[in-house]
Structure 1
Amino acid sequence: MEELFSQIAGHVRGMWRFRWWGLAFAWIAGITGGFVIYSMPDRYESTARIYVDTQSVLRPLMSGLAVQPNIDQQIAILSRTLITRPNVEKLITMADLDPGARTPAQREALIAELTRGLQIRGAGRNNLFTLAYQDAHPERAQRIVQALVSLFVESGLVGKRQDSTSARRFIDEQIAGYEQKLGEAENRLKDFRLRNMALLGDGGRDYVSQMAELSAQLRQAELELKEAQNSRDSLKRQLVGEEPVLLAQPPNPLSVALPEIDGRIDALKKNLDGLLLRYTDEHPDIVGVRRVIAQLEEQKQKEVEAMRKVDTGAPWAPNANPVVQQMKISLAEAEARVASLEARVAEFGSRLAQLRSSAELLPKIEAEQTQLNRDYEVHKRNYEALVARRESANMSVEMTAQGGVTEFRVIDPPSLPNKPAAPNRALLMPLAGLIGLGAGIALAFLLSQLRPAFDNVRSLREIIGLPVLGAVSLVADPVLQKRRRRGLLAFGGGVAGFIVVVAGMTAMVQLLQG
């Protein structure tokens, strides 16, 4: 620490030798700085304040129905991104600054000047913004700030409309895409169901339900068939031993009345008429009934031919008592019912066997159906969500257009300044004085380093590395002491005069600005 103080003291003594050079340079630098500051052109600042009101009554009322964007964040971003080259070029046209920029170089310089000078200052979370610009001409500064206010409001409104339009266009494109995907998914699901209709059933029953239902129908049909067969056999046993009475021979064997066979044929035809009302000609029940009718007609013809061969003179129309005829009719109906039930049992058995043979394909079909249903449901859910969002966006646009969710209020219009805002000469004058003093001290230090001298024995011994035998002191006489005092007073007066001059220039500048 002692060595550091010794070095500092040595530098101070070395600078003291060149104090007059430093003082002179400080005066020159200070006076020059003062004249430069005084000659700086005045710049006038025009300001305007805008309040952005985002607290609309419609916002809480339409919550959950319309899109609620973060208006405060949008306004904050707008204030930071408003000063761009396209906006500055638009501002030049709006403020009528084109006549001053005829060449491309002048226009570029004007754009750069405006970009540096335009200011948008926020006031915290209150959405209160101050727009300011400084220019050498107060009227021009006012025009520029007025154009900036118009640009600020216009950019906020246009930005909201562009965002809404872009959002609606994007949603419409997504809806169109999902409509196509939904149609394709529906077609795939339809084709799959058509291909696997036998296994899928009517949509409300799965494979297991169909198997259970067909098994129950088959058991019921078999039970009814067994009951019909028992009833038929009972009728046959009752008719055993009955002999018909023959009448005259008809011209046509088919027109011969055989009550037993005719009754069965009539019953089958009635049953056939009822089946034709419900089924097509290819239905197994209808095919079976027609086959039985054909067999009965052939049997009738054979019996008539057999009776004709036995006795050519005997009558050909068998007849019996009414009870026997009624029993034969019942037997014919029982035969028809047995045939119908046999066809039904065969059909149900065939269907059940077909379902059982397709059991190996069931897991694959169910997995494919699950995948198709999942894709369809996802597309449908996304489509419905997009449609709902589009309606919400439309409602938000209408709400913005009708209710004015964001309102720009000009609190203070652009001012016409009558006093310069810059440069602040009252602050710059003392700063120029301090810079002048610093320049003088720096010059003195520089000269002391360029022309060093030894001011004590210790520094001389440390530098030359040789022992110093002694030193001769200077004994000042009264004349020399008096001269030193006058030099100190003159130097102090020079420093004090410099300070007084700087203070006077500062006071004069304040009076002129006031």
Structure 2
Amino acid sequence: MSVEFRQRSAAEIIQIVNRRKWHIVLPAIAVSLAVAWVVVDLPKVYESTTLLTVTAPTISEKVVPSLTDENLSQRLQAIGQNVMSRTSLEPLITQHNLYEGAREAGVPMEDIVVQMREQIKIETEKVGEDQSDRVVGLRLTYRDSTPEIVQAITRELGNKYIAAQNIESNQSAETTREFIDKRLAEAKSGLDALEQERIIVINQNIQTLPESGEGLIAQLEGLRNREATISKDKETLMTEKGRVQESIRSINSQSRLLVDFSEKETQEAIVQASRIEDTPAYGQLIQKRAEFNSKLENLKTQYRDKHPEIIQTQTDINKIDEELDKLAKSTDKRVKQANQSGARKAELQRKSLEIEKQKAESQIGQIDKQLLTKDMELSSNSGLIAGLEAKINAIPGVRVALDGINNRYLTAKTSYDELLKKYNAAQAQVDRETNLQGETIRVVDPANLPQTPVNASKKPFFMVVGLGIGLAIGMMLAAFFEVPRLLKIQNIEDAKYYTGLPILASVPKLLTEGEILREKRLYLGKVFAGIIVSIVSIPVLIVALQITHIFERMS
């Protein structure tokens, strides 16, 4: 018949805590002192912030429309990638002598640039309750250990944003204007040629208007319409070719980002693989060794060192230590596997991007073939038109020639007027960007000079956390030794509860004075050993915390 576990009273719990007080107090003191040492020695971190706003255009949107929120966000992202690039950050590192220790230690500049990026935070400022209406600016923050350098770096990063925005806006608007200007010149040249041709036909055939040219006019108009259709199709293909070329440039950019990301991910995987403490096998071996150590301590209190059970237990402990050594030696293999896995993953992603690039290049080849076909169609159509015009000119029919020329002229004039509207809009955009009349980035709040470290207020909290962790470790250590005792009958109350029988008498533990003295010495020896272990563990914990930089990351 099963019996429920007997609940301990408050007095019994206090007695247990008193019995295991050293198990609780020593880890708490060791962890607290180690954390306090590391926290007090933390470098000061200063933070400087500057607010950049996107100012509205100074001219009416009816004249030149503003950028949409999506386009503005994309432009800010592109500018941000330019500012955060190695080309932009490396001169700042050299100019202000940042990360001097890392550079003297031979750390690659790529890793130093990545470390600097982690200290830079860029937040987009938006209006509206759901933060999705309109981009109004961005907040740029930088952290470092020197207030003056923090302020200078933040100010220069803000200036880089402004300069990059002006360059990008001017280049985009100027490229668009030049493209449309070229198309407009070609259309104007064609329009002038048609006008000149019309004048020549009129001068040569002023007095002749044959009535048999109406059918030829219809055929000529159809060929002209076909020519216009082919030209529009060709323009559409050119636009599609430009889009595909932009896609290839995007794939190339993704490939470069993939290389940087895969290197960082591989390094993280290697670090993770080199920690044998996180493996299940290591935890199981540590648990078994603790069990055998506990068993060995109990056996030593009952038998001599030459007893078979003591020898067997010591042998088991030695075997576990050998297994731990083997597990530690297998770290290189896991690191190599993690490195190979990261390389294979990066290679697969690179091949996927390469396949996409090949598809895009194949698509460009197909477009080029279609453009060649359109050119051949235009050439063939031009030949048909030339033959038809020759027939019309052979007949003294000025009206036919003039109608054909007029139709072509009207078509070309319509195209010219549309291009002229686009040219005016592009020119207005260029003037707007040149005169800073469009959306511009300006500094509203200059970079501030920080007076106090941002991590100063967190140090007391870290110390309290260290004390809490130490107490938690102490409680777990006390529970490790005390829980097995709770599963055994320890006193009269346990005997009454679990047997259900009355206790008539109890015989206390009978010890001689020598045995009592020996138990006291053994207890004091264990306490002294615990104190020694705690003292030794303090510098070990300090070194571990300093290597992992836990508190530096949290601050």
- The interval holding the TM-score normalised by the smaller chain is 0.3 to 0.5
Structure with higher Rg: it is 1
Higher relative contact order (CA 8 A, sep 6+): 2
TM-score by length of 1: 0.46
TM-score by length of 2: 0.43
